[in-house]
Structure 1
Amino acid sequence: MSELPEEIPFIAEVIQGGRITIPDEVREIFDIKEGYFVLCKLRVIARRQKKPKSKGSKTDPKPQD
């Protein structure tokens, strides 16, 4: 019988509400079920850039003449 690895790195996207998903394969290897507590080490590898607001949008006031 083989031993479980101590840790398996994986990449996850942060979704609505700050949630991430542990991949199925990782959950199966460690037999992780709903309600379990897990320790996660975190490193940000990429950030999405915010879209710049366009000038003259409906939320911006129009210049006065």
Structure 2
Amino acid sequence: MTPVVQDFLTTFDRLTDSERLDLASEILKRIAYLDFPPLSDDNLVLISEEIFLQLDEEESAY
């Protein structure tokens, strides 16, 4: 992840819920018609593992 993207995400985390929803909506509108290449099985596995690890972290916080 580049420093610019990391700064963007840090700023996003500081926004109110309403601001986050507005921003997410705008980003989704802008990327809806981009031509993304299909994800490989390996990419899907890596993404899934990352999501499950994040969920495990959140559950352990409770």
What TM-score results when the alignment is normalised by the length of structure 2? 0.20
What TM-score results when the alignment is normalised by the length of structure 1? 0.20
Say which structure is richer in helix.
2
Computing the radius of gyration from Cα coordinates, the structure with the larger value is 1
Question: Relative contact order: is structure 1 or structure 2 higher (C-alpha 8 Å, sep ≥ 6)?
Answer: 1
